[in-house]
Amino acid sequence: MSAPQRVAAIAVAILVLIGAAAVFLTLGDGRIGLGPEPSEAATPAASAPDPTPPPTETSAPETAAAGDEEVLAAIAEIEAEVIALRGLEAADIGAPDIITRADLAGELQDLFAKQYPPDERERDNRVLRAMGLLGPDEDVAELQLQLLGDQVLGFYDTEEKRMVVVTDAGLDAAAKLTYAHEYTHALQDAAFEPEHFTAEGLDDDDRQLAMTTLTEGDATVTMLAWAFQHLSQEELLEIGTGTELPDTTGIPSWMINQLQFPYTAGQVWIGALSGDPLAPDFTAVDAAYDDPPDSTEQVIHLDKWQSREAPIRVDVPDLVDTLGSGWEVVDESPIGEATVAIFLEHFGVARSVAATAAEGWGGDRVAIAYGPDDAFAVAWRLAWDTPQDADEFADAYSTVVAALPFPAAVRSVGESEVLVIHASNDDVFKDVAADAG
């Protein structure tokens, strides 16, 4: 195990044991496999009520400015330490809101109601069901809220420039660690205005995830360096032993793994760019904001980042032209190496096999269309670096095809491309398969 991997293992252990204190939830228009898309920062949580009811009145959050001078002083000290460590100008934000876990469900409901309206949620449900990632009775927003409800320890709202810390025990060690992470996001926002922090976001799911990996990896490296420099051994022990593991019963594995990816992969990548984990040099990290990654392949493989290996442009069949009147493409985007591996593992492919099958990714694009009577069609074309890479993916995905509850196929197209087809019924499948090149 390399030094970056060892540090990543420590980071993952801390993140899991404190309930993923550094996890960054962002809410937006949410495309393939991502649920709500980044535009707000937050951290995982637990079972929450159905997101569809109107927001209920809750007690106003307690702000640190409400009179707790000791908390204010501790927060100011953390900010000064993170600024010195990260080497960025102070962020112009007010005092944080300190809320209890009981208040959190209402906060998350309000965020979902504002950022993830029912029509977008239903579109994503249809997309994920067509990909085989959700069952007919599963709802992506309800699952997200369940996943996040017990784990969120804090978030930075980029629209309102508002910091929120979730704690029932005041500014304890976990809350301090969370604040160091989330304040790093505020510094990033002020210094670089990362693309995925904007409401518009990006129209490329894979690049979106790569950008999130940049910001989360940066914040995680900063958080860990801050913790090892400024927390006592007792506080580190408190973080490692004082929090129960979150309950992920009933949450699809792809959702959990995709939420974790920016922190685990990001910490390794940014750790490699910044060097000494106890005293990181962020020069190369700052430069990455001016020339950000184009794909998750670049953040997974350091050599691909160093050479800036660009994704191959891939065109997918025109499903509306193939299937005719009444059909509409509801989503179209690259998926990328990281999510390919995550999806394969979700469908039962061993993690090491899934990673090998996804490696060698050159580019991809998937289109999902819906038609009359809720019929659907998926055309997903993937380009690979070599014919062997294409064969490895096709072999792995053949096990997925066998397990899907609807007609599906994976087939080679040329030497180094693969086409995946899903359809709601045999007639739609035959039409797409006959017309797809």
Where are the CATH 3.40.1000.70 domain residues in the chain? 319-435
pLDDT value of residue 55 = 34
| Listed residue (384, 388, 386, 430) closest to 409, CA to CA | 430
Query: Of all helices (H) and strands (E), which one includes residue 423?
Result: strand 417-423
Give the model's pLDDT for residue 27. 27
Q: What percent of the chain has pLDDT over 70?
A: 79
**To 10 degrees, the CA torsion angle through 252, 195, 64, 178?**
50
Residue 113: count other Cβ atoms within 10 Å of its Cβ: 17
Which uninterrupted H or E stretch holds 164? strand 162-166
CA–CA dist 282, 409 (Å, integer):
46
Give the tens place of pLDDT for each residue, 282-304.
Answer: 999 999 999 999 999 999 999 99
Please state, in angstroms and rounded to a whole number, the distance separating the CA atoms of residues 59 and 227.
32
- The residue ranking higher by pLDDT, 250 or 151, is 250
How would DSSP label each residue in 293-350? -SSHHHHH-HHHHHHT-PPPP-----HHHHH-TT-EEEEEE---HHHHHHHHHHTT--
Nearest to 315 by CA among 223, 379, 221: 379
Asked if residue 396 has pLDDT above 80, the reply is yes
Helix (H, G, I), strand (E, B) or coil at 420: strand
Q: What is the mean pLDDT of residues 378-403?
A: 97
Q: Assign residue 30 a region: left if phi > 0, alpha if psi is -120 to 50, beta otherwise?
A: left
In terms of C-beta density within 10 A (0-12 exposed, 13-18 middle, 19 or more buried), how is residue 13 classed? exposed
d(CA 93, CA 242) in angstroms, rounded, equals 30
Q: Which is it for the CA torsion 66, 69, 71, 73, positive or negative?
A: positive
Of 187, 195, 239, 197, the residue nearest 218 (C-alpha): 187
How far apart CA 89 and CA 69 sit, in angstroms, is 24
Overall residue count recorded for the chain in this entry: 437
Weakest-pLDDT range from 148-162, 225-239, 324-338, 373-387: 148-162
How far is 195 from 201, CA to CA, in rounded Å? 6
Amino acid at 212: T
Q: Tell me the C-alpha distance between 363 and 383, whole Å.
A: 5
| Joined tokens for residue 69 | 């001078």
CB 18 within 8 Å of CB 235: no
Residue range 335-379, pLDDT digits in tens = 999 999 999 999 999 999 999 999 999 999 999 999 999 999 999
Q: Return the CATH number of the domain spanning residue range 319-435.
A: 3.40.1000.70
Q: Determine which of 18-22, 103-107, 129-133 has the lowest per-residue pLDDT on average.
A: 18-22
Q: Give the strand pairing for 162-166 and 97-99.
A: parallel
DSSP per residue over 39-90, as a string?
A: SS----------S-SPPPP-PPPEEGGGT-HHHHHHHHHHHHHHHHHHT-PP
Among 257-261, 329-333, 398-402, which stretch is predicted with the lowest mean pLDDT? Answer: 257-261
Q: Give the model's pLDDT for residue 102.
A: 79
Interacting residues of 383 by C-beta distance below 8 A, sequence separation 6+: 312, 314, 362, 363, 364, 416, 417
Q: How confident is the model at residue 423 (pLDDT cuts 50, 70, 90)?
A: very high
> Residue 207: how many CB atoms within 10 A of its CB?
22
What is the Rg, in whole angstroms, of the alpha carbon atoms belonging to the chain? Answer: 22
Sequence-separated (6 or more) residues with CB below 8 Å from residue 174: 18, 19, 21, 153, 167, 238, 239, 242, 243
Mean pLDDT across the chain, nearest whole number? 81
Share of the chain above pLDDT 90, in %: 54
